[in-house]
Structure 1
Amino acid sequence: MAARWMIWGAGLSFLADQASKYLVIHWMGLDQRHRVDVLPPFLNFRYGENSGINFGLFGGGDEASRWILIGMSLAICLALVVWIARAQKASRGMQLSAGLVIGGALGNVADRLLYGYVLDFLNTSCCGIQNPFVFNVADIFIFAGAAGLIFFDGRRKKPA
């Protein structure tokens, strides 16, 4: 199978995201406690409900925006699957990177379907700068996957 690494990347990132949310938010009770300092200020758990995209942008909280964001996420996942499937020889890095984006996006889609918003809980600060934003493991996979798609794109610059 040509896209084996993409499927593994998507599956494992989706499972890691959903497991982390279950453990931190439900099992540790972050939804009740709202804050847990793990390694302050570098790593803290802060409960967040994000009805928008990154940093709460476009978070009107209405049903229409929820379904639009679900549709956009699924369309991006489908586009990545088609792109990797059509690539002549997508490297393992490209496949894995696409899988990370897909798994992360599907993790956030699952949240929107289950709760109506995305569960966020990670907060990091450093060097005297207080970060007010929260994010989740899916966001990390989406970011890493997007960076990997750029890094492993397979195109080489021609020497001058």
Structure 2
Amino acid sequence: MKVTRRSIYIIVTIIASIALDQVSKVWVRTNVKRGSQSSIIGDYFSLHNVENTGAFLGMGGDLEDPLRTILLLVLPVLVLGFVLRYIFKDKSLDNWSLFAFASIIGGGIANVYDRFVYGSVTDFWYVKLTDTLRTGIFNVADVFVTTGMIILVFITLFKKKAKPD
């Protein structure tokens, strides 16, 4: 593989997202009592320490092995590998798309790493704006994945279509 500015941009984004996520999780595991809840900004933003054995919002955490292993470890690794291959091969992707895909890959790798090493993913942030407008408990990797997805949606919705000749 030829090392280009583009490939460095992809790799740095992936590594940075993994590093930020893992550092934050180590800090939470070390400094926040498991199962605790601390207010950061009133009732709107709080810090927790929970172990999520499932995926998004705990989905799949109660599945039996080997289905759980396939859906939460094997399948994500395959998908992340295909997306990584895609962004290295498709030279037409703009920088925002590259950042979005690399963020998704980095966040995905960070959470898969936790599932593999710890058997669960450490989640710690919770946002509650109203009783109906609130999040589940999430982590930095989830922020990278979600941000990447939002960027891709905006790119898709607002992409300027090439004018026919």
Amino acid of the structure 2 residue aligned with 1:45: L
Task: State the shift of 1:88 in Å.
Answer: 2.7
1:119 aligns with 2:111: no
Q: Indicate yes or no: 2:45 matched with 1:43.
A: yes
Alignment match, 2:102: 99
The aligned counterpart of 1:59 is 61
Name stretches of at least 5 consecutive residues in structure 1 with no aligned partner. Answer: none
- Alignment of 1:7 with 2:14, yes or no, is no
Shift in CA distance, 158/95, structure 1 to aligned 2, threshold 3 Å: closer
Q: Deviations over 1:20-57 (max 9, x none)?
A: 1111222x1332x6211111222101222212111111
Taking the TM superposition and a 5 Å limit, the aligned residue runs for 1:80-159 are 80-129=83-132, 131=134, 133-152=136-155, 156-158=160-162
Unaligned stretches of 5+ in structure 2? Answer: none
C-alpha distance 97-11 of structure 1, shift in aligned 2 (>3 A): same
Q: CA deviation at 1:4?
A: 2.3
Counterpart check, 1:79 vs 2:52: no
Kindly report structure 1 stretches of 4+ aligned residues shifted beyond 6 Å.
Answer: none
Between the two proteins, the alignment pairs up a number of residues equal to: 158
Counterparts of 1:130 and 1:81, CA distance in 2: 33
Could you state the TM-score of these two structures normalised by the residue count of structure 1? 0.85
Matched residue SS, 1:80:
helix
- Aligned-partner SS, 1:101: helix
Fraction of identical pairs, as percent: 24
Question: With CA pairs under 8 Å and 6+ residues apart, which has the higher RCO, 1 or 2?
Answer: 1
Is the CA contact (8 Å cut-off) linking 1:9 and 1:97 kept in structure 2? no
Q: CA RMSD in A?
A: 2.4
TM-score, normalised to structure 2's length?
A: 0.83
Amino acid across the alignment from 1:79:
F
Query: Aligned to 1:34, which of 26, 33, 36?
Result: 36
Distance apart, 1:158 and its partner CA: 5.0
Counterpart-to-counterpart distance in 2, 1:100 and 1:12: 9
